[in-house]
Amino acid sequence: MKTTDFVEQWYSMQKAFLPPPEILASSKENARRFWESQERILDNMQAFANGWFERRHMGALSACKAAERMCGTESIVGLVQAYQDWARGTFERMMADGLSCQQQIFAATSALTSPPLAPSANGKKEPMRSEEKTPVSSKAA
């Protein structure tokens, strides 16, 4: 009989300390979304790193070919042309790095800013919204 008292006490303690089921469900959904966002961020970072290394390999190969062309030319025009071709490729790779970096930053921030879910009055889960704020008007001088 004392065992029953301990079991009842245990259940009453659990009820006192555990949040209601709708809060638990909301927390579970928030945790799932958080870790899905982490996966997307890691995938995007890996894609960025792989692209960066591919462009570095292309840059090294391009520099090697440009050096061979520059050393094999017999005119200053050929030398300048080989250098300009190499420099144009370098610039294109730098621009690709910048664009890729911007895309990764956008993907990471959009993954982090997806709103968590909260139970609504009708029982459906809806994204949490911040309270509407009235715009602050600047005073004219």
C-alpha distances out from residue 141 to 16, 22, 138, Å: 58, 52, 9
Q: Which of 33-37, 54-58, 92-96, 118-122 has the lowest mean pLDDT?
A: 118-122
pLDDT for 108 equals 64
- For 12-93, list the strands marked E by DSSP: none
Q: Going by C-beta distance under 8 Å and a sequence separation of 6 or more, which residues neighbour residue 82?
A: 66, 69, 70, 73
Tell me the per-residue pLDDT of 44-64, one tens digit each, with 9 for 90 and over: 899 989 988 998 898 899 999
| Pick from 12-26, 102-116, 127-141: least confident | 127-141
Whether 91 has a pLDDT exceeding 70, the answer reads yes
- Mean pLDDT score of the chain: 78
pLDDT value, residue 38: 93
**Token couple for 23:** 């809060």
Domain ranges of the chain: 20-113
